[in-house]
Amino acid sequence: MHNISRALALGLFVFTLMSAAQQALAQQYPVKSIRLVVGSPAGGGTDLIARLTAEKLRDALKQPVVIDNRPGAGNMIASKLVAEAPADGYTLVVQGMSSTVTPSLYRSVPYNPNDLQGVSPLMSFPFVIVVNPKVPAANLKEFTDYLKTNAAKLNVASAGGTTTVTAELFSQMVGAKLRYIPYNGSAPALLSVIGGETQVLFSDLPSAFQHVKSGALRGIVISGDKRSPQAPEIPTAKESGMPEFVVLSWYGLFAPTKTPAAAVNLLNATLKSSMVQPDVVKRLASMGGEPFTDTVKNFNDMYHADLDRWKRVIKQGNMPLVD
């Protein structure tokens, strides 16, 4: 009994020390500049949200936040750099939904996705199925009926990994094999649908909604669980009879795994309040998105669920891997 009491006392002492250490870190962090790595060039979508994040962290934490653009290899250069950085809260990375696709879509991945942990989500937006106006479908039922009987004649534009896996998920749900035509980014993919070279694109909403509003493209459904303020006239797949087709693209802040919880929680709390400020909401809307906030645990659960989902979709669709 004496040994048990001594063990309990020792455990309580260690716990107290750890709690004190975490509280001390929370009071001390940050004491120097934070490096925010971005896997895209200056001016790109990831860079814009990273600069907004850096601005808000700088204002709240009273320390410099330095943007470090490391484009290339599907953002994997930036992810690798941060995954291998010291886990002290001073080297962070902004990455998006693509970070849950590339580990299964690329033949060789230079880092382990589990070496990064989610700190805070930042922004989200749905995908939208857009078609050339000549496609005889105005709603989801008409589109799926047309797809099932005409899939062999349709060319589906692919603007990259996230649009392709979203399209592949949809094709597996409806049981129609799609033929993808790759394009180097959203702009040429959208132009191909507008011009009739391809007929369908599963696009991120920010890239497509102006073309839908102009009438150059027809929006069938969005993949969110609620209508988007940017295109409220387009119904969700959920309300159109396909509740399982919910896919959100997102951006979030990540740190090396094992970064102290006190630093992670401070960053999460700071961004949770910052991302819903009126000026931020307005700037995110101009990018076609909405604020996305959640707890550290929920964000990490979503990150790992997305890793598992896209791995399953890519394997089931026998999608060709990228070298």
Take residue 55 and report the two structure tokens written for it. Answer: 């601005």
Which residue, chain included where needed, has tokens 């909403």? 205
d(CA 242, CA 219): 16
Position 45 scores a pLDDT of 84
- Structural class in CATH, domain 9-124+250-316: alpha beta
* Domain boundaries along the sequence of the chain: 9-124+250-316, 126-222
Dihedral sign of CA atoms 208, 120, 41, 85 in order:
negative
Position 225 scores a pLDDT of 87
In degrees and rounded to multiples of 5, residue 201 shows phi and psi of -145, 135
* Burial class of residue 8, CB neighbours in 10 A (0-12, 13-18, 19+): exposed
**74 near 40, Cβ under 8 Å?**
no
Take residue 134 and report the two structure tokens written for it. Answer: 């000549």
DSSP letters, 266-316, are HHHHHHHHHTTSHHHHHHHHHTT-EE----HHHHHHHHHHHHHHHHHHHHH
Domain 126-222, CATH homologous superfamily name and number: Periplasmic binding protein-like II (3.40.190.10)
Q: What angle do CA 52, 117, 292 make, to 5 degrees?
A: 40
Take residue 290 and report the two structure tokens written for it. Answer: 């909405």
Could you tell me how far CA 130 lies from the centroid of its own chain? 20
- Residue by residue, pLDDT tens for the chain (323 residues) are 455 455 455 545 544 544 444 455 456 899 999 999 999 999 888 999 999 999 999 999 999 999 999 999 989 999 999 999 999 999 999 999 999 999 999 999 999 999 999 999 999 999 999 999 999 999 999 999 999 999 888 999 999 899 999 999 999 999 999 999 999 989 999 999 999 999 999 999 999 999 999 999 999 999 988 999 889 999 999 999 999 999 999 999 999 999 999 999 999 999 999 999 999 999 999 888 999 999 999 999 999 999 999 999 999 999 999 88
- CA distances (Å), origin 2, targets 5, 11, 232: 5, 14, 68
Position 18 scores a pLDDT of 45
240's CB contacts (< 8 A; 6+ apart) are 139, 140, 141, 221
Take residue 80 and report the two structure tokens written for it. Answer: 């690798």
Position 313 scores a pLDDT of 97
Domains 9-124+250-316 and 126-222 share a fold: yes
d(CA 316, CA 299): 26
d(CA 118, CA 141): 37
Position 27 scores a pLDDT of 63
Output the pTM of the full model.
0.88
